[in-house]
Structure 1
Amino acid sequence: MATGFERVAAHVAATLGAAVVSAEPVPGSVANEDFRVGLDDDRCVFVKVGPRTELAAEAWALAQATAAGVPVPKVVAYEEDSAVTPVPYLVLDLLPSDRDLTDGVVRAVGAALKRVHSIEVPGHGHIELVGNPLEPDSVRGQFGTWPEFVGSLLRDAEDLVRVGLLSAEQETAIRREAEGIHGSPLMGDSGVLLHADLKPDHLLPVDGKLTGIIDWGDASAGDPAWDLARASMAGPAVLRIIAEAYPGADDPEVSRLLPIYRVLWNAQALAHEYRAGGDWFAVFQRRIASDLGLG
């Protein structure tokens, strides 16, 4: 069976005006097929092939983040027209990284995240777009309110019990902890742009400076504390340094919500992994059990 890139290679080459000389698969995504692609003009680009829902959201979010002064990959090309390509694809600049996440880099992530969270987006949940994602007709989160989004995650938890990936005791605890959540003090009247998967692997540093925040396929609208919860999975020291550059991140009510937000994030990820046919369950289950205090 042809890989996703093999299906679009000729289209990508024609768009970029250069022949493809190498295509190295990059593991890590259950929804997309990702490739590091070398061209005969010595350029290297990153190509994502997959569902429009994620690729369009990523293309739009990258444009918004760039406009806000956040270092992200440049969108080189995006195509979803079935008359042009058999499957949607997104081509991005390949950014350098030395993987050295110093305190200064993490602090810069906090400042960048604050800028991302200044971008208001109607609705809550994963970004939905109508039209060209670089010039869309409309953009909004898929749910009308934050509690509606949280409710969708509680339904995910119910589904996970039915397929044996969560215990009934865990689902009951999740529902109890999530009761009455309307958002953190960081959230205003509207949702804001969220990266929604902010982890060390998605942060690119070079020589002590932040050069890029990558992988925006989960871009969503909602409570800024959702991004802080995801970032906090890297440990309390990371969250503390982010908070140094993000006013309000250490608010007691934000801190109170972070554990249940982590649980809900991991329940969502676990449900997504199951529905996509993956089997990488253990890390999500372990985090859920840890934050709930239940084995």
Structure 2
Amino acid sequence: MDEVEVVVAHSQRATLRVGDVFLKVDGDPAHADVEVRAMAMVPVPTPAILWREPPVLAIAAVPGKALGVLGEPSSASPAAWAAAGAAVRRLHDAPLPPWPGRALDDITAELDGECAWLLANGVLPAEVVRRNREIAGAALRPWTPAFIHGDLQITHVFVDGDEVTGIIDWSEAAPGDAMFDLATLTLGHEERLDDLLAGYGPGADRDVIRAWWSLRSLKASRWLIEHGFDPDAPGCEFDVLRARMQEP
């Protein structure tokens, strides 16, 4: 029998790997509902669904390896990053899913709440929080909704050579701001943005992508801390926020 590998585990969900099968266990069945529906709709490669028995969703491993990991340089080629950009563009150009996305007012209120928590608990210097909240404001504007992945972390895009072989973890898919996906994929890998956009094509707004780097990092920090992750690890969210202090 293959060994059981714990890929990720926290109070909300866990993912186990047994050979070439991933078992995703989630206390909220709505997450798996969205994942299954989204993967059936999107024009990009996704894992095969093997079976579903709530609260467990079994999916097949995709070939290749992740585009990279947060906190380490990506070894993927510029062509692989461009291929990822082209795949994301196909997703964003696809017909919208029929379920709603996050409202701008809700995102703004959540961001302000997270900034207040960071300041009240002295997690980061106040000037870092305030400067990044200022930068994040550029993302808080009306957008034309696109079909977004919603959690397009670098570890969720798999490549084999210069080809995208699969995009995983679709539970946050919804109509939303296309720039959010581009920012999430390049978070902590800002030097690869040009390669990504070479494949994505026209229409990307670098100022808004930069704003989403700040916004996502501010908004995620408390959750990461409370679930046993370290946003202060080298190259991770706190470094992303500190890097914005060096910009004009």
Whether 1:245 aligns to 2:199 is yes
1:121–1:140 CA contact under 8 A, matched in 2: no
Local SS of the residue matching 1:197: coil
Aligned length: 234
Q: Specify the structure having the higher radius of gyration (Cα).
A: 1
Percent identity over the alignment is 24
Structure 1 length as normaliser, TM-score? 0.68
Displacement, 1:215?
Answer: 2.5
1:231–1:238 CA contact under 8 A, matched in 2: no
RMSD between aligned residues: 2.8
**Residues 97, 292 of structure 1: alpha-carbon distance in 2 compared, 3 angstrom cutoff:** same
Structure 2 counterpart of 1:48: 24
Amino acid corresponding to residue 46 of structure 2 in structure 1: V
How far apart, CA to CA, are the structure 1 residues paired with 2:172 and 2:124?
23
Whether 1:227 aligns to 2:181 is yes
Displacement, 1:195?
Answer: 2.1
Displacement, 1:174?
Answer: 3.2
How far apart, CA to CA, are the structure 2 residues paired with 1:98 and 1:233?
18
Structure 2 counterpart of 1:133: none
How far apart, CA to CA, are the structure 2 residues paired with 1:218 and 1:164?
30
2:157–2:166 CA contact under 8 A, matched in 1: yes
Q: How does 1:1-295 map to 2 (within 5 A)?
A: 21-28=1-8, 30=10, 31-38=12-19, 44-52=20-28, 53-65=30-42, 68=43, 70-80=44-54, 88-98=55-65, 101-119=76-94, 121=96, 139-141=99-101, 143-144=102-103, 146-179=104-137, 181-183=139-141, 187-188=143-144, 191-250=145-204, 254-275=205-226, 277-282=227-232, 283-293=236-246
Unmatched runs of 5 consecutive residues or more in structure 1: 1-20, 39-43, 81-87, 123-137
Displacement, 1:247?
Answer: 2.4
Amino acid corresponding to residue 238 of structure 1 in structure 2: R
1:23–1:35 CA contact under 8 A, matched in 2: no
How far apart, CA to CA, are the structure 2 residues paired with 1:179 and 1:207?
37
The structure whose RCO (Cα within 8 Å, separation 6+) is larger is: 2
Moved more, 168-177 or 104-113: 168-177
Structure 2 length as normaliser, TM-score? 0.80
How far apart, CA to CA, are the structure 2 residues paired with 1:208 and 1:255?
24
